[in-house]
Amino acid sequence: MPRRSFSVLVWLALVAPVYAQAPLHVAAAADLQPLLPSILREFTQETGIHADGTYKDSAMLTTQILNGAPFDLFLAADLGYPQRLIAAGAASPAKPTPYAQGTLVLWARKDSHLPRPSLALLRDPNLKRLAIADPRRAPYGQAAVAALKSLHLYAALKPRLLLAENIAQAAQFAGSANADAGLISLTSALTPQLESSGTYFVIPRGLYPPIVQGMVIVNSTHQRADTQKLADFLLSAPVQAQLAKGGLAPVH
């Protein structure tokens, strides 16, 4: 065999496995940050396919995908942002696949000078700073504004709102001295840190539109089959039960 041909074969033998083992890159809504890492580890253990997550607000992730960011799967906090990618020809299938439904809660620290979280707390004049995710970027922020408007409290509370980039940052604000309370995701409220340091009240679902969270496969992926395996894994009964335990209700 000619030396050059032999060298090419050696190069392929060394490099091809690296390409084959490239991890899946998941663009994930910030409310998934407490839950998804362990689920991705379980997926790797079961399939041998590695996957990692990037956690940001759904609007930013949508923009990054449209600009060519190398993601394989997009797990948004609503259906609207994945639908934008589909409309732009950047994702499939024809409709986003719902994988969970989010829950909005009012959370406050146990050492707060304010009463325990309830709808009455939102009317308390001593509530000076209320953290929410930016409604221009994050579906949970949109849900928070909708709930406040349903309660006819938005006009009064708007000057006291502390806007965060995403729901994870809103939870950080609420958990610190930056805010007195926060309208955050149940996934954040159930994290060990916030569960031990605060209490929460579940906002009645009738006060805001359902936070149905959807996923799509990014069309630029080079690993469509493996990405589909991950999408199917997220819809499996054991993972759906795990999501529910962490604060994301099943959609079926």
pTM exceeding 0.75: yes
85 pLDDT higher than 70? yes
Strands (E), the chain: 24-29, 51-56, 73-75, 91-102, 104-109, 130-133, 161-164, 181-185, 198-202, 211-218
Task: Report the topology of domain 104-202.
Answer: D-Maltodextrin-Binding Protein; domain 2 (3.40.190)
Predicted confidence at residue 14, as pLDDT, reads 45
Mean pLDDT calculated for residue range 188-215 = 97
Peptide linkage before 96 cis (omega within 30 of 0): no
89 pLDDT higher than 90? yes
Predicted confidence at residue 177, as pLDDT, reads 82
Is 3-101+210-245 assigned to CATH 3.30.470.10? no
Question: Model confidence at 3, in pLDDT bands (50, 70, 90)?
Answer: low
Mean pLDDT calculated for residue range 189-198 = 96
Predicted confidence at residue 13, as pLDDT, reads 46
Question: Model confidence at 2, in pLDDT bands (50, 70, 90)?
Answer: low
Please tell me which residue, 2 or 76, carries the higher pLDDT value: 76
Burial bucket for residue 78 (CB in 10 Å: 0-12, 13-18, 19+): buried
**Eight-state DSSP code of residue 134:** -
Taking the alpha carbons at both ends of the chain, their separation in whole angstroms is 59
10 pLDDT higher than 80? no
Predicted confidence at residue 171, as pLDDT, reads 97
Question: Which residue spans of the chain are classified as CATH 3.40.190.10?
Answer: 3-101+210-245, 104-202
Q: 173: which residues sit within 8 A by CB, 6+ positions away?
A: 131, 162, 164, 179, 182
Question: Model confidence at 18, in pLDDT bands (50, 70, 90)?
Answer: very low
